[in-house]
Amino acid sequence: MTVYVSWLSLWLSALMLALVAMAILAVLRRRRRLKPPVQAGWLTDQMVRQIIEVGALSERQVPEEALNMEEIAREEDRFWSETWDDPDHYWE
């Protein structure tokens, strides 16, 4: 009989440990979903209003790592160097 009690307590302990681990994982997942990434969200409502009113932000308001100006320049050059097809005659 003591063997059954020890096996039963072992199984119950393992079950409780698994339930605690699942609860911890659920809490961690929920926190990760609710908390935005560190880099995301640096643009505030005040900055958006300034962009609408003035048309740009000052350079000191934009974090260094937010924009890669070299990559932007490359993509802009690539965009403007593309040839444009004439419109289809179906739309005329």
Give 2's Cβ-side CA count (13 Å radius).
0
CA-to-CA separations, 19 to 22, 26, 38, 74, 84, in angstroms, rounded: 5, 11, 31, 52, 61
| pLDDT value for 49 | 86
How far apart are alpha carbons 77 and 15 in whole angstroms?
61
How far apart are alpha carbons 81 and 86 in whole angstroms?
16
Identify which has the larger pLDDT, 48 or 75: 75
Q: Over the stretch 7-35, which tens digit does the pLDDT of each residue have?
A: 888 889 999 999 999 999 999 888 777 65
Model confidence, pTM: 0.36
Q: Check residue 22 and give left, alpha or beta (phi > 0: left; psi -120 to 50: alpha).
A: alpha
